[in-house]
Amino acid sequence: MKVLAGLALLLFVSFSDAGTTFTRWGRKVCPTGASVLYKGYMTGPNWGAGGSGSNTLCAHEEPKFPRGTAGRQGSAGLLQGIELDLNIPAMKALFLTDNMNGGEVTNQDMPCVVCYVADSYDKIMIPGRPDCGSTGFDLQYHGYLVSQMSDERKRGEFVCMDESPEGTTGGTADNNNAVVYPVEVGCGSLPCNPYIDGMEMACAVCTY
């Protein structure tokens, strides 16, 4: 009986301490009920270079460099800040400008924040919905899918950009080091009913 009681206590402690994390792309604050683990910068590979990684990273806003050599080494991977590029007029209305000083989203360098939700056991990003649907999960934020542009650029990761991005201080220089664009539907093998060809894809990040 003591063994069973000890096991039950262990399970209780494990579950009561459980939580999950998610990254909120384009924002510096976590949704209500979630705690900030760290803030940072949305980063990825240079749009025109080979190598490096293909995934998107939230690089810490206060980096430390225990060892290394300043100056770029010819064969090293390269991580650069990501801009949200909305130079196509039809795409400019997708993202809200409530959190943008000056009201301009195009070419803004994107921040990110890694959030923690206590007593939560799972997370999911749902492409194609601005909500959690009938999953029973709780909505953390919604927005639009973004990725690297398909025209002569390297493959990257699909991520869910918050619909009300903030941008970073002084991040309007249009450096075009690493860029993301909204993702459009290409129907065919993806059924044109209910999908609509050319429409931008909504997304939602949900936790349980």
In contact, 142 and 202? CB cutoff 8 Å: yes
**In 3-state terms, what secondary structure has residue 11?**
helix
Task: Provide the pLDDT confidence category of residue 12 given band limits of 50, 70 and 90.
Answer: very low
**DSSP class of residue 54?**
S
Confidence at residue 130, expressed as pLDDT on a 0 to 100 scale: 98
Task: Provide the pLDDT confidence category of residue 152 given band limits of 50, 70 and 90.
Answer: low
Task: Provide the pLDDT confidence category of residue 37 given band limits of 50, 70 and 90.
Answer: very high
Instruction: List, in sequence order, the alpha helices (H) in the chain.
Output: 2-16
> pTM for this one?
0.87
Q: With residue 41 as reference, give the H or E element that holds it.
A: strand 35-44
- By DSSP bridging, strand 178-182 and strand 80-84 are parallel
d(CA 17, CA 191): 43
Which of 9-13, 77-81, 110-114 is most confident? Answer: 110-114
Task: Return the number of other C-beta atoms located less than 10 Å from residue 27's C-beta.
Answer: 24
